[in-house]
Structure 1
Amino acid sequence: MEYRQTDAPPSYDSVMNQNTSPPSYPSLQVLSATQIQPYYIPQPTPQIPAPCVVETISTQRRHVLSYKSKRCCYGGSGGSAFVVVLLIIAVGLGVHYGSSLWTLSGKDKETDICTPSSVNCDGKRDCSRGSDESRCVRFGTANELQVMTSKAGSFLPVCAQGWSKSIADQTCQQLGFRQSYAVDVLQSSSSAFQSLNSRFSNTIQGSVNISSSCPLQQTVSLWCCDCGRPPVSTRIIGGAVAAEGQWPWQASLHFRGYHTCGGTLVAPDFIITAAHCFPQEISDYLLPSNWQVYIGMVSQLKLPSSYNVKKITIHENYDPDTKNNDIALLILNRPVSNIQPACLPVFGQTFSPGSKCWTTGFGVTSKGSDSGSIFLMEVAVDLIDLAVCNKPTVYNGLITETMQCAGDLMGGKDSCQGDSGGPLVCKADDRWYLTGVTSWGDGCGKKNHPGVYSNVGRLLTWIHGKMQQERP
């Protein structure tokens, strides 16, 4: 169909005939890795790697159209089916979820209250949720530690003089990590620095002063965790079943026992996923206790020990109509050990259009499929320039700066239902970086309608800020 610039992008939750029973799940005896088709999805079909499947259709404000719902809702018998019906009704009627701040722990929403005299990045917490001190640290090229203070007003590299393991650990803990992983020095050409003062306070921004000099111009390169280097590195271009260990950061988010969305481990306590996996109008989806997270597995038939969700934090400016800022952060009840996360990109890091990246998930795998993949699937996709993706023949202006298109304009390679919230990763310097979060699209693998992902690079400030606010 043809889009007009005033139209909202296709909503990611389908609508089904509520009187129709979900089709049965294919017999596990006849499934094997060799029977799964490559990750080519020319038409939208919802998925479920569990007892049953719910298939739905989207109703737009102005159009009735087919699209791919990257989130899938599952229903078994009894209470699970009731939840599915609620979701179908809410989404099928096109409910608007709102754009207020959704930081949920149990049933309570938390607000951030700041004093009139609050000062950003002075090392003193003036706001109840600490937002005044949560966006003062970032990483530059080669993981150069950069800090902004209330006096500097801009990000400056941190001089390596006086740096120690304990300060590195404290800084990484401030950023939401458990400890530091590695520290190195870089040769800087900067004319101004942040230098450690005589006493380290609770925050790095409260522990530095502006300086015009730094011995040998050496600044701090800080890694808070080892990331983006899986133990298995073989790839098959075009879509295939992923081998164990290829994408260790892949998470499967289960709502009341059924895979519903994907996610990405980015730190021992944090999972990044999509905001649209948590529709505000259905309160059960907003309760952390209804979710379990499985990480590092490649089969829904062989689940490892699960992690419970402590808190669900959704971007305060997420717009369910446009899918802008479609990102959420899950805080786990305990840290993940022995599983390597994906790397978060550093400030200013970009991947050029045409770069070959990879997306993974348990979504549907073939045209007309009525069930999702039991196995983790992988497919190589090319990044597509924003201007190209906004052409009238493609998405006609619907792609914002917080979105990233990837796939093939000729159709074929794409993500689909059940993949929502999962990773789009790109490789640089032998590490895999989380570049996108599976978000939305029109159909699955359709010509001129590639997959659309939340642009992680554009959302880094929000991610780092929330990780600091929710640090363990």
Structure 2
Amino acid sequence: MDPDSDQPLNSLDVTPLRKPRTPLETFKKVGVPIIAALLSLATIIIVAVLIKVILDKYYFLCGQPLHFIPRQQVCDSQQDCASGEDEQHCVKTFPDGSPVAVRLSKDRSTLQVLDPATWSWASACFDNFTEALAKTACGQMGYDRYPAPASRGCPLTPMTSSLLPPFFPPFLLIFPSFLPTPACGESLKAPRVVGGETASVDSWPWQVSIQYNKQHICGGSILDAHWILTAAHCFRKHHDVSTWKVRAGSDKLGNFPSLPVASIFLIELNATYPKEKDIALVKLQLPLTFSGTVRPICLPFFDEELTPATALWVIGWGFTEQDGGKISDTLRQASVQVIDHTRCNAEDAYQGEVTEQMLCAGIMEGGVDTCQGDSGGPLMYHSDQWQVVGIVSWGHGCGSPSTPGVYTKVTAYLNWIYSVRKSEP
């Protein structure tokens, strides 16, 4: 081109260069849509979770056909789902039936068998111990056939006392290697502080928290890897088993993960006197892993007698004050005493409300007692091992004079405990 030409410069066929995008422009075009999509996805997920939580709390999903029913209709003894699943996982009642046919004495030296003809107990291998009773004993312990007539000698192999737990599954007499490990009633740390003070889980490794919708409701005692002993009144309002969990291995309420429950068993309620038969068994879906802070407590022997003033212990996360108190975040312990049954039923105390299936324990002057939230926890006695001799049940006030704590007497329900555990192998 002639440099002296008068043709305008912008008439030339030249394509101008595009300016590169700045980081801000790139973020606006690419980053903002991605963030918006992620926020939308997160919102959808949060809303979905909230909907699920609300539905799970207030509604129950029936199958075939799929539809929701109000949560209040679950475990109300009326079938609202077509296939009845709303009534399948509920608290069960188990009858307080006939006595177990075999028992062991407190000193672990005598095996006794119940004679169904006379309803009296006969000691094995002693006088008047018949072949029929021997067959009963062997059948209860897992043998279908009795190996020899009683006159030819005793077929029951003597065991040392260290092999026998206080209330044993009968087959353990013949197969001691099947005994649970660790032995019941042993703790790594002896309690040294008395009177409503902070407790260590090393001292009471069998104590658990029984929780409904993640809220502590009652205490309980580990009997073995699957079974927890507690009070029946803990479950009177909420019968849906899936809402209950058990927390073990910590003296703090919020520390450890909770364990799902498979079954809950009560004795049928006595409508005329609901304070009676305040005992329950909780079966876990998965077995506990025993450790220094998770161990079983022993059940008492059938002939364990506690005289007045016998020293006992109680533990729990219950209210620290009767009025205006709150659940304790940390496990607490107290030393109490057995109170005479007659004294407990006096006119200035419970006026006959305490039955033979209950125990009174505390201090008549008041000041040391269990309270709301302690229910279901153990009343403990130490002989060779720790035994759960009572279950925190009821009382007038907390630590009031003349109205000590009243506990379910465990020895009165050993047959029931054994029968329930036997029914759910």
Q: TM-score range by the shorter chain?
A: 0.5 to 0.7
CA deviation string 1:308-362 (max 9, x = no partner): 1111110125457440111111111122231321110111111111011001000
TM-fit CA distance, 1:445: 0.3
Quick check: which one's helix share is greater?
A: 2
Superposed, which structure 2 residues align to 1:57-96 within 5 Å?
Answer: none
Rounded to whole Å, the distance in 1 between the matches of 2:105 and 2:320 is 38
Q: Residue deviations 1:267-314, cap 9 Å, x none?
A: 2211111111111xx4xx1111111001231001312x4221111110
CA contact (8 A) 2:134 2:150 kept: no
| Aligned with residue 256 of structure 1, among 213, 236, 242 | 213
Hey, what's the Cα distance between the residues in 1 that align with 2:340 and 2:91? 40
Residue 335 (structure 2) aligns with: 380
Query: Matched residue of 2:223: which SS?
Result: strand
Mapping 1:286-365, distance limit 5 Å: 286-303=239-256, 305-319=257-271, 321-338=273-290, 339-365=294-320
Matches of 1:271 and 1:381, distance apart in 2: 23
Paired residues for 1:65-464 under 5 Å: 106-107=89-90, 135-143=100-108, 144-148=110-114, 154-158=120-124, 192=129, 203-204=141-142, 206-208=144-146, 211=150, 214=153, 219-220=158-159, 222-223=164-165, 224-225=179-180, 226-279=183-236, 282=237, 285-303=238-256, 305-319=257-271, 321-338=273-290, 339-366=294-321, 368-429=323-384, 431-464=385-418
Q: 1:320 and 1:251 mapped to 2: Cα distance?
A: 31
Cα distance, 1:201 vs. partner? 5.9
Unaligned 5+ runs, structure 1: 1-76, 84-96, 98-103, 113-128, 160-188
Is the 8 Å Cα contact of residues 91 and 263 (structure 2) preserved in structure 1?
no
Q: Is the 8 A contact 1:105 1:287 kept in 2?
A: no
The one-letter code matched in structure 2 to 1:412 is G
Instruction: Give the structure with higher Rg (CA).
Output: 2
Q: Distance in 1 between matches of 2:263 and 2:355?
A: 28
Q: TM-score, normalised by structure 2?
A: 0.67
The verdict on how the C-alpha distance between 1:78 and 1:358 changes in structure 2, with shifts beyond 3 A counting, is farther
> What residue ranges of structure 2 are gaps of 5+ in the alignment?
1-52, 60-76, 78-86, 166-178
One-letter amino acid matched to 1:291: W
- Say whether the 8 Å CA contact 1:148–1:205 is kept in structure 2: no
SS of alignment partner, residue 260 of structure 1: strand
1:306 aligned partner, one-letter code: S
Q: 1:461 to 1:109 in 2, by over 3 A?
A: closer
SS at match of 2:278: coil
Q: Distance in 1 between matches of 2:58 and 2:399?
A: 31
- Deviates further, 148-157 or 339-348: 148-157
* Counterpart contact for 1:196–1:207, Cα < 8 Å: no
Give the Cα–Cα distance (whole angstroms) in 1 for the partners of residues 277 and 94 of structure 2: 19
The structural deviation recorded for 1:107 is 4.0
Name the CA distance, whole Å, in 1 between partners of 2:93 and 2:190.
Answer: 42
Report the CA distance between 1:155 and its aligned residue. Answer: 3.8
TM-score (norm 1): 0.61
One-letter amino acid of the counterpart of residue 252, structure 2: S
Counting matched residue pairs gives 323
Spell out, residue by residue over 1:7-45, the C-alpha distance to the aligned partner (whole angstroms, 9 max, x if none). Answer: xxxxxxxxxxxxxxxxxxxxxxxxxxxxxxxxxxxxxxx
Residue of structure 1 equivalent to 2:11: none
Correspondence for 2:173 = none
Distance between the aligned counterparts of 2:94 and 2:364, measured in 1?
Answer: 42
Q: In the superposition, relative to structure 1, how do residues 306 and 461 fare at CA in structure 2: closer, same or farther (>3 Å)?
A: same
Kindly state the Cα deviation for residue 458 of structure 1 after the two structures are TM-superposed.
1.4
- SS of the residue corresponding to residue 276 of structure 1 reads helix
Deviation, structure 1 residue 365: 1.3
Q: Secondary structure, in 3 states, of the residue corresponding to 1:244?
A: coil
8 A contact 1:252–1:293 mirrored in 2: yes
CA distance in structure 1 between the aligned counterparts of 2:334 and 2:366, rounded to whole angstroms: 13
Output the CA distance in 1 between the equivalents of 2:113 and 2:141.
10
RMSD: 3.5
CA offsets 1:211-264 (integer angstroms, 9 cap, x no match):
357469974453344111111113212121111311111110010111011111
Q: Aligned partners of 1:375 and 1:320: how far apart in 2?
A: 37
Contact 1:292 1:309 in 2 (8 A): yes
**2:250 alignment partner AA:** M
Q: Which amino acid aligns with 2:298?
A: C
What is the letter of the counterpart of residue 398 of structure 2? C
Tell me, in whole angstroms, the C-alpha distance in 1 between the residues paired with 2:152 and 2:267: 39
Residue 289 of structure 1 aligns with an amino acid whose one-letter code is S
**Amino acid in the other structure paired with 2:102:** V
Separation in 2, partners of 1:193, 1:337: 43
Q: Distance in 1 between matches of 2:270 and 2:254?
A: 34
**Cα deviation, residue 460, structure 1:** 1.4
Q: Distance in 1 between matches of 2:255 and 2:273?
A: 36
Cα gap change, 1:156 to 1:257, in 2 (>3 Å)? same
Q: Equivalent residue of 1:286, what SS?
A: coil
Letter in 2 for 1:269: H
Distance 1:203 1:414, change over 3 A: same
